[in-house]
Copies of this chain bind each other. A is one copy, B any other.
Amino acid sequence: MRKTEVHGTVADGFGEVREEFTAFVAEENGEPGAQLAVFHHGRQVVDLWAGADVTGETLTGLHSSTKGATYLVVALLVQDGVLDLDQAVARHWPEFAVAGKAGITLRDVLTHRTGVIGAEDGFTVEELADDRVIAARVAGQRPLWRPGSAYGYGGFVTGALLGEVVRRITGSTIQELFEARIREPYGLDLFLGLPAEHEPRYLPIQPWLATPEQRAEFEAYSPAPHSIAGISYNLGPAFTPADVMAFPNARVVRAKGQSSGGGVGSARGLAALYAAAVSEVDGRAPMLKPDTAGEFAMLHSVGTDLVGGPVSYALGFQAKGQSYPFLSTHAFGHNGSAGSEGFADPRTGIAYGYTRRRAAFAFNAPENERLAAAVTRAATALS
């Protein structure tokens, strides 16, 4: 088998997507170990993969694409009236109400406006694997900026903050709710807590490939440990950008399915998640009503992310139309450090899922833009 060979199928009208995927894989010498899955109005139309050992059933680390699953649980609870976006976090979690955090709402958490984005002295991998440990540690902290005055991506902790509120109100963890309400009913290949029986399908994330020049340039721009970005990425002597990438390779992280970055899945799982959120799938109504989807896709934080990166946020989800100009203002999703990405664009009915086990250099996987563009062109032509 040639490394660059592409496997899988596409539906009529999506041939251009296969061509784009094939071209990308060839340019990367077959290295990315990538999967691409797309649903269109609830029906899978793209199911492709390429790379040594990788199949359509392969599971790998999703990093922050995990947050899409976490936010979907939150959206369902808001839709049910269980959570109130504009209520103070501290109402249900009194330990949080210190050092100027009493007024912080769930909406602030979802829009990265709290200033609570990590722990200054860093977490060990074992601590970082556990949402409750994270929540207990950050509860007493002073925010890094005046809450509401700015936004900065809370890479490792946002899910834990949400999870603590969810747990205090419902008695269940986000992981339990995800399993019961979403993963199991839809049979998704996307886990917040990977059962041991699925472990054989897990392929570890591989470090990125970089020339010495790239490596030097990356290091020159790496955030210092005690900077805002350093705190968000948990950087320090004992935790480097390579450890960010390797995070889901630790069994404890996968086992607990940490809600900010410990999810495991396939491109099929990611795409099916977003399809179930906004489309009728196999006769089942979309999980999100239009009003809920509308609110969670509405732009909330735009401008300068203090952690870095020109990302605009809707409610938790990234506002994908701000990143990819061909998507609509209704598109929402999330990407992850190694290059994985999932999103839905209700305007075209697209649900997109992508993974790569070979990490993209410098947390940057531009192939998503060209692949998503090809998907959008194909879907639009069919409408």
Contacts and interface: CB of A to CB of B under 8 A. Distances in A.
Interface of A: 99-100, 115, 120, 142-146, 149-150, 223-224, 226-228, 231, 291, 294-295, 298-304, 306, 321, 325-329, 347
Given A227-B329, A302-B304, 19 more contacts: A99-B291, A99-B294, A120-B328, A142-B291, A142-B295, A142-B298, A144-B329, A145-B298, A145-B302, A146-B300, A149-B302, A150-B303, A223-B325, A226-B327, A226-B347, A227-B321, A227-B328, A228-B321, A302-B306
Contact of A301 (B149, B304, B321, B325): B149
B224 A144 contact: no
A303 B329 CA distance: 21
B299 A144 contact: yes
Nearest to A142: B294
B321 A145 contact: no
Closest 9 CB pairs of A and B: A145-B299, A226-B328, A142-B294, A146-B300, A224-B325, A150-B302, A144-B329, A224-B326, A227-B325
Contacts of A115: 298-299
A321 B150 contact: no
A329 B231 contact: yes
Contacts of A325: 223-224, 227
Contacts of A304: 302-303
A331 to B, nearest CB: 9
Contacts of A299: 115, 144-146, 149-150, 228, 306
A302 B143 CA distance: 15
Interface centre among A99, A145, A301 (most CB of B within 10 A): A145
Interface residue SS majority, chain A: loop
17 contacts: A100-B295, A100-B298, A115-B298, A144-B298, A144-B299, A145-B299, A145-B300, A150-B303, A223-B325, A226-B327, A227-B321, A227-B325, A227-B328, A227-B329, A228-B299, A228-B329, A302-B304
Contacts of A120: 328-329, 347
A298 B146 contact: yes
A317 to B, nearest CB: 13
Contacts of A223: 325
A342 to B, nearest CB: 20
A328 B347 CA distance: 44
A313 B304 CA distance: 15
B291 A149 contact: no
Given A99-B291, A99-B294, A306-B302, A329 B149 contact: no
Contacts of A298: 100, 115, 142-146
Contacts of A306: 299, 302
Contacts of A227: 321, 325, 328-329
A227 B325 CA distance: 6
Nearest to A147: B298
Nearest to A143: B298
Contacts of A295: 100, 142
A228 B146 CA distance: 25
